[in-house]
Structure 1
Amino acid sequence: MADTTTQPKRQLHLTAFMRPVSLHTGAWRFPGSYPDANFNLKHITSFAQKLEAAKFDAFFMADHLAVLNMPVEALKRSHTVTSFEPFTLLSALSSVTEKIGLAATASTTYDMPYHVARRFASLDHLSNGRAAWNIVTTGNPESSHNFGVDEHMAHGDRYKRAREFYDVVTGLWDSFADDAFTRNVETGQFFDPAKMHVLNHVGEELKVRGPLNIARPPQGWPVIVQAGQSEPGRQLAAETAEVVFCSPKDIEAAKALYADLKSRVERAGRSREHVKILPAAMIIVGASREDAQEKRLQLDSLVHYDSGIASLSIMLGVDAAGFDPDGPLPADLPETNASKTGRESVERLAQQEGLTVRQLAQRLGGYSGLAFLGSPGDIAEEMETWLREEASDGFTCTFPFLPQGLEGVTDRLVPELQRRGLFRKEYAGSTLREHFGLPRPENRFFSKAA
């Protein structure tokens, strides 16, 4: 039997999901919370600095390209109706933080690869190597109307475009060798033309000449994050992602997803250790498990039914307002172009727990995903179980309300994780790749040997 006494203990990776600052609909109404936390630079700066002081891997911003497609009676109750554009905010945060990673979503469906490559290369330079790109294919069909498109792209087509989009963006990041910019004042040569590559990509979906007009990012490539859980989403993650943001409902579902993704990564010829799987989890820290559960009940009570039924409609891709509130979810729902993973999870939840439409709406109107509730010790023990049983490599933390919910994690949970040896006490490096233990990609056009 191998001696495991000298083997280093695996540690958790923790990122913070910060757009919206809380996924729970009632968060802005919770007593003592900041109602404007989602759109207040002073507050968000303080959140980022607290997360950095707690040694979080990254501050992660999702993005929406349209106001949520819900009835105005529900929309008027949502704190997500306004939020900063991610690159603008993260660029500002890069100047008031030093180590924490800065991750942003950019759509492969309604953006262009040259734009995305420039923005992330710029953010990586501004932050000295802390940028990450969350690749999304934009599931909200309402987004199409903001880009002059009448028909939202089909699910499979969105992923086909995303795969080619990734190749183009990473190719653009490799436009210049790391040492291309000589800036020789004496000879007057600013860069070596032999170390500039013109991409000249012509594919099925995209045509991009290049080169990028920005030097190669400090990390080589910003860290690649991916969030799809459908079949094409998993395959895209296996081939491209270095961090996977996902939403399994429990530890058994998480272990199955973890095993599947890691095996796909290996079949793609990549190291399983170079892909970190971080499920989203809302964390409510209390004096005890009962205290944390009381906080959740109070939080859920602040969700208006209009918001709940609207959330149910979004997840299903159909208008649920006409369903019998006290009956079961109809079994004959029409096919839609909504996210398949999200819809299936709703149908499974309704069936497993026997929920009426009203109960399902109330659950979804607040937050229906994975949650850890309890004392710092309770939550740390549960997180360690997930890590030990290969259900995750850490977590994407969401907070029930701000600032108290965030401070419960940074001030109470993190010290307990550190005491148990489950989380770092100091950053080992300065770049996000160093935080995650990821290698710096070699330039595909200019090898070190050359």
Structure 2
Amino acid sequence: MSLPEWSFFVGVLLVSMVLAGTLLGRLPLTGAMIYLVLGWLLGPRVADVLRPDPYAHAAALQALAEVALLISLFAVGLQLGVPLRDWRWRLPLRLAFVSMAAMVAMVAAVGVAWLGLPVGAAVLLGAILSPTDPVLAAGVPSDRGAKPDRLGFSLAGEGGLNDGAAFPFVMLGLGLLGLHELGPVGWRWWSVDLVWATGGGVAIGGLLGAATGRLVVYLRSRHDEAVGLDEFLGLGLLALAYGVAQLGQASGFLAVFAAGLALQRVRERPRSGSRPLPAATDSQGHSYETLATHSHHASATMRDSVRGFNEQLEKLAELALVLVVGAMLAYAKPLPAVWWFVPLLLGVLRPLSVLAATLGERLTRSQRVLIGWFGMRGIGSVFYLLLALHLGLAGRVADVLVSLTLWTVAASVIVHGLTAQPLMQRYLSRRRAARGR
């Protein structure tokens, strides 16, 4: 299509999503489901407008997926307001590491025994399909803030952590296939890909997020400087955390997530003798400049502004990538294994992996069941698939991984999108009823 035709199409799509927003809220549909179908219709099998061939354009598509994932991870970090030492972080951490490791092992076993894949390819498949999606998890209400419901908070925290936690397993699979250097006796994998990438990514992102946030709040509340351009602040911190981490061979995904968490944790440092602003009496309220430079309100104003912009950016990233995934389905070979593998992964292996991670946790039966069901697959899986293709994955193994990954993501978008609203409404109504007793 020409630029004017693309402009017309994008304009109609965006305005239609705004106008249909209320209707979508009443139906068991999500924006991702609509984008997926539109992507398929625009792809080679129907309109032949989008041709995102993952084999021929792996590098460009990988970059698109990476940007979308970074935006979503930063957004999740900005939204989780539970203190880092709070006990509620225990379950997301167990889901992100214990559940994910169990999932990698189970998928790898299925890959070797039933799909006939070599061990490296089976481990790679498990690593690609292990991370849950922070964007799609947004469809599950999480009461994000200082006192969230444990179900939604755990799913959001898991989605923010496990995209970075999956990296060592992806590198292990690629190394076993000869596409990545593991080092003698796997020393490079253990020291760099596993220990340093994980710990270094969290440390770099946390330090940069906290330092940047505190510096901006100090300049605003003490010197009336660095006011405005919060969009630049959000994008700049995201890029800075990712760049420093990647240059230092740490996980850029964990760094960006940790930077969002750290920025969200920056608190006010009121001047001695000062008081909070009184409630505004007119319809306009206090101006942005007044709030941004007041020592009682500077950090909250900064957080809200950065979060609001990033949430809108996240929606655009979701639109672009899910459209591309829908069109990419045309390049997924119609393997018979898809029909049993996808239900097995979503309906059996995910709940089993959650069971391993939640042993000993005080969860209600409905919370345990819903956490086991809502294992959304999405941007992280697509990114790691494209990374593997970019690094040289080819042949039958590539065909199997492309087909299983893309159809798993498409199935997850649909089945989790259809079930999120009714299941969560039922869960929330039962929770309210229990509280009223």
Identify, as 1 or 2, the structure richer in helix: 2
TM-score normalized with structure 1 length: 0.26
Which structure has more relative contact order (CA 8 Å, sep 6+)? It is: 2
Identify, as 1 or 2, the structure richer in strand: 1
TM-score normalized with structure 2 length: 0.26
